Amino acid sequence: MTMIKNALLKLLLSLTVVSFLSGSVWAQQGHPLELQDGLSTLSQQLMKKKTNIGNRKIAVTDLKPLYGEMGNLGAFIAEELTSLLARQGVRLLERRLIDESLKELRLNQSDLVDPMSAKRFGRFTGTELLLLGSMTEFEKTVKINARLVDIETVDVVSTGEVLIRKDKQIFGPMGIPYPGRLVINVVGGAMVYLDGTPSGQTNLWGNLKLDKVKPGSHSITVQKEGYRSARHSIFVEEDQELQVGLSMEKLPSPGTAVFLSMIFPGGGDIYLGHDDWWLYTLSIGGSIYGAVYYSKEERIDELVWIKNDTGSGQHLEKRGESPMYAFAALAAGIWIYDLVHVSSSAKALRYTQSHEVNTRGFMIVPESEGARVVYRWTW
C-alpha cells in the first residue's frame, strides 16, 4: 500500500513539473512582449547555438512582411538586432555596407534568398552568415521569425521567433498613427455612427467607448427613435481618450400634439412649431363664435326673407337653426382636420426612417444618386 502511494505521489509530482515547464514554454512562445524585450529575446534565441556560429561574420538584412505594408519596421528591427548582437560580441557587417555592396553587385536585399546571389554577396563582403527574417501582422500582435543561414551551404544555423505586442513602440516604425479612443455620452439606447459607419449602441447610462479610433478629423452622428438626431465634428489625436458629450432633443409626441389641439385650437401646431397655428385658432374660434351667436333664441326666431321654392318671390320666415348647425359643422371639420394634421406631422417627425424631418412637417428623402429632395409630408 505504501509503495502504491509513493508511486502515485511521484507520478503527481512529475505531472506537476511537466505542466509547469509546458506552461513556461507556452508563456515564452505565445505571450506577446513589448518590442525591445521581444528583440532582446530573439537575439538570445539566435545565439543559443553559438558553437555553430563561432567567430563568423554576420550580415543582418531587413526583415520582410509576409503580406501588406509595414513601413520601416523591418529596417528598424534589423538595426536593433545589429546593436543587440554587437553587445554579445558577434562579428557583424556594418549595415551601411550592406546596401553599398548590393548596389555594387546590382542586387537587392530580396535577392539574397537566392543561393547564387547570396554567395556572390558573401564573397564580396567576406560575410559567412545571413540573418534573414519575416514579419506577420495580426490584429493585436506582430509575429517575428528569424534565422541565421550559412551562405555557402545554405544550412540554417539557428532560429528564433517572438510575438510582439502592437503598442506605441511598434506603431511608429510601421508608419501608422497610434489610435485614440472615444467615450460617447448621450441618451441611453442611441445608435452611434462614426463617419457614417455604425459603431455601437450606448448602454443604459448613455455611454459608449470606441477603441482604436484613427487619429484625425471625424464626424459623430447619434440617432434614437423619438429624438432628433445629433451630429458633432471632432479631432482625435494619437493615444488620446476624447470625451464627447452630445445632447439629443426629444421629438414631439403625436399624442401630446393631438391632446393640445383638442383642448385649444392650434395648440398642437404651437407645440410642433408650425407658423400657421393662428389660422386654425381663428378659423375654429370664428366658427364656434358663429355657432354660439346663431344659437340664441332671438336669432333663431328672427324673421328673414326666404325665397319661395318656385323662385317666384320671397316671404318672411324664421331664420331657424340652420346657420348654427352650419357654423358648428365648419368648426368641427376644421378642428378634425387640425387633429389629423398635427398627428401626421408628429408621426413624421418621430417615426420616419430618414431621421431627417424638421418641425415644419417637411421630410428630407435621400435619393440613390446622393442628392437630397424635400417633400411636403403632411399637407
Report residue 316's pLDDT band, with 50, 70 and 90 as the boundaries: confident
Backbone φ, ψ for residue 167 (5° rounding) = -135, -165
- Distance between CA atoms of 316 and 45, rounded to whole angstroms? 122
List of residues 6+ apart from 194 with CB closer than 8 A: 182, 210, 213, 218, 219, 220
pLDDT value, residue 26:
38
Angle at 47 between CA 42 and CA 49, to 5 degrees: 130
Report residue 311's pLDDT band, with 50, 70 and 90 as the boundaries: low
Lookup result for grid cell 509595414: 70
Least Cα distance to 366 among 352, 351, 347 occurs for 352
Compute CA distances 128 → 93, 115, 149, 153, whole Å: 10, 13, 9, 10
Residue 4 has pLDDT above 50, yes or no: no
For residue 332, the surrounding DSSP H or E stretch is helix 322-351
Residue 78: CB atoms within 10 Å: 20
Higher pLDDT pick, 22 / 342: 342
- Distance between CA atoms of 257 and 276, rounded to whole angstroms? 15
Q: Quick one: how far is CA 199 from the chain centroid?
A: 4
Residue 362 has pLDDT above 90, yes or no: no
Domain 180-245 has CATH 2.60.40.1120: yes
Query: Looking at 67-81, 148-162, 297-311, 360-374, which range is the least confident one?
Result: 360-374
> Any bridge partners for residue 192, and if so which?
200, 222
What cell numbers appear for 119 in the block?
Answer: 554567395
Average pLDDT of every residue of the chain = 80
Q: Quick one: how far is CA 169 from the chain centroid?
A: 24
Under DSSP, is residue 235 helix (H, G, I), strand (E, B) or coil?
strand
- Distance between CA atoms of 135 and 64, rounded to whole angstroms? 6
pLDDT value, residue 30:
62
pLDDT value, residue 148:
92
Buried b (16+ CB within 10 A) or exposed e, 317-333: eebeeebbeebbebbee
One-letter identity of residue 277: W
What cell numbers appear for 117 in the block?
Answer: 546571389
Higher pLDDT pick, 250 / 370: 250
Q: Do 266 and 277 form a contact (C-beta atoms < 8 A)?
A: yes
Question: pTM surpassing 0.85?
Answer: no
The distance between the two most distant Cα atoms of the chain, rounded to a whole number of Å, is: 138
Summarised one tens digit per residue, pLDDT across range 332-359 is 999 999 898 888 877 776 665 444 444 4
Least Cα distance to 214 among 171, 165, 170 occurs for 171
> Any bridge partners for residue 233, and if so which?
219
- Distance between CA atoms of 345 and 98, rounded to whole angstroms? 75
- Distance between CA atoms of 286 and 289, rounded to whole angstroms? 5
Domain 29-174 has CATH 3.40.50.10610: yes
Strand 191-194, strand 216-223: pairing:
antiparallel
Residue 14 has pLDDT above 60, yes or no: no
Q: Do 249 and 227 form a contact (C-beta atoms < 8 A)?
A: yes
Sign of CA dihedral 251, 255, 258, 264: negative
